[in-house]
Each structure stands twice: as structure tokens, then as C-alpha cells.
Amino acid sequence: MQVIYYSADQDAAAWVPGLQAALPQAEVRLWQPGAPLADYAVVWKPPQQLLDEQTHLKALFNTGAGVDALMKLQLPAGVPVIRLDDAGMSVQMAEYVCHAVIRHFREFAGYEADMGAGKWSFRKPRSRLDFPVGVLGLGVLGQRVARSVAQFDFPVNGWSRTAKALPGVRSFAGNEQLEQFLSASRILVCLLPLTRETENLLDAKRLSCLRPGGYVVNVARGAHLVDADLLSLLESGHLAGATLDVFRVEPLPKGHPFWQHPKITLTPHTSARTLRTESIAQIAGKIAAVERGERVAGLVDSNRGY
């Protein structure tokens, strides 16, 4: 069995031997133009040439959580594209979001700034009932995030394309319930896949639906959010702030107004990293399942785009 690996970002020097160790029966190599035809490809943001050349693939594995970069390419017809189920990403996402939600709700940045200025301050406690959290997107990551936030007794709303029932989460589904979902939420967490339907979804019209003093946590893709609309709603005061991990262009370009904005907390696309060991174990398991002719979880629907 032949396996090729390619990543635009990740450290091939660690992935290739890792995959080899997990798949002792296979020959694992780093893809280069003109490489021999392989049975499986493990990729992150591959070039079109890889897909064009590799005409014998039984499956294509995507090592990140989002397949939006892959969906922009011409995919080989009939080859299943498989996402990882979780591989340690959902707990990282739950951590990131809970940290951002708690930090905003409890005003810890303000307290720390006061203490840093030598000031022992008092702020009136706020009620969590006034901070319903809305989770946009209820896939593996969104479900884990919703459950984690609910554990801190916040009211939690969830929105997904098709209805999903989750304990402790008030569920909304489809375009017809999107505004209702937004109006019921004050802290909005975006965990959507990036597709034609979800690009620019967080624009002035949608963000204005959030409750006054709204807050945006974007951990999905930069292209979900219309940057200028976020800035004007922060300016008008309808939104109180945002925590952003993803941007339209990454690294965030110099001179972008998000840099040093007093109401925006920035992190450099670090909310949930692909963990190599967990991912490799999962890919090896899925390859074994494909070889046995079994159905594999994480199959991407290219019409849906995720």
C-alpha cells in the first residue's frame, strides 16, 4: 500500500515517519510532483497538481478540521474525502471558547488591568442569565463547545443547518430560524464550516440581531465575518467586544484595524491545533476500515461543502 503526505504548513519531517510507524504495511512518502501513484493521500491545503496526478486514490484525508481549502480545488471524481472525527481538537476548542466566554462575562481582563495599575477594584456582579451563549454550528466541535459552556450554567442556544437535539441546548435550525437564534443570544460563537452559504454570514444585518452588548467569538474561518461590519457595531456600541482567532488573511496583515483595537482580543489561529499523534492514529484506523470495506465516519459531502 502506498500513502502520500503533503502539508502546506505542518512539519513533514515528523508526519511522514509517524504515519509510517502507524502503518507498517504501507510505504509512506512525502508527495512531490511526479510521485508514484498512491492508494491514500493525507493532505493539508494541497496544490491542485497533487490531485490531478494522483488518479488511483481510494481516499483523501484532510488533517485540519475545515475542508474549505480543499473544496476550492478540482477534486478527483468518486474519491471519498475524509475529515478527522476529533483528534483532540474539540477539547481545545472547548477550552478556547470557555476561556473567552468566562473572561468576558466575569470581566477578568478589566480586573487584571485594574490590579496591574495598583487598583483594588469592585465591579457589580453580572447575571449569567443576561449572557445567553449562541453556538453557530453543531458539528463535533460545536457540540463539545455547547456542552462545555452549558456546564457553567449559561443559557445556551445552538444553530445548525438541520435540527439537532442536544441536552441543555435550545436548538434552532435552518435559515428561517437564524435571526431568532441570534436575537436570543448575547455571546455568539462561530464554529461553522466555511461554504458558499456561510461566507460573510456575520455581517451588519446578522450581528445587529444579537442582544445589546453582544460579543463575538470567531474560531471558524475569517471569511465568515465581515470585518468592517464588526468594527462599526463595536463603534456604535451595539457590540461590546470580540475574541478573534481566525482572519481573512493570515497572518493578519500589518495595518489591519483589528490590531490593537481596544475591544478586540486576538490570538494567532491557535484555538485548536491538529495534534499529530492523535491524528495519525485516527488516520491509520480509518485506512484499515476502508481496506476492510467498512463505512468510515467523517465523509465529506462535496455538495454541502463539509
Q: Does 85 bind its own copies (CB under 8 A)?
A: no
Site string for its own copies, 226-255 (x = CB under 8 A): ------------------------xxx-x-
HEC profile of the chain: CEEEEEECCCCHHHHHHHHHHHCCCCEEEECCCCCCCCCEEEEECCCHHHHHHCCCCCEEEECCCCCHHHHCCCCCCCCCEEECCCCCHHHHHHHHHHHHHHHHHCCHHHHHHHHHCCCCCCCCCCCHHHCCEEEECCCHHHHHHHHHHHCCCCCEEEEECCCCCCCCEEEEECHHHHHHHHHCCCEEEECCCCCCCCCCCECHHHHHHCCCCEEEEECCCHHHECHHHHHHHHHHCCEEEEEECCCCCCCCCCCCCCCCCCCEEECCCCCCCCCHHHHHHHHHHHHHHHHCCCCCCCECCCCCCC
Q: Does 113 bind its own copies (CB under 8 A)?
A: no
* Residues 255-284 contacting its own copies, CB under 8 A: 259-260, 265-268, 270, 273, 275
* Residues 34-53 contacting its own copies, CB under 8 A: none
Select 123 or 205, whichever has its Cβ closest to its own copies. Answer: 123
Which is catalytic among the residues 221, 238, 256, 295?
221
Select 100 or 220, whichever has its Cβ closest to its own copies. Answer: 100
Q: How far is the CB of 272 from its own copies (least distance, A)?
A: 10
18-26, 65-73, 92-100, 216-224 -> range binding its own copies (CB under 8 A): 92-100
Residues lying near its own copies in the complex (CB under 8 A) = 91-92, 94-96, 98-99, 102-103, 105-106, 108, 111-112, 114-116, 118, 120-123, 125, 128, 148, 151-153, 250-252, 254, 259-260, 265-268, 270, 273, 275
State the catalytic residues. 221, 269
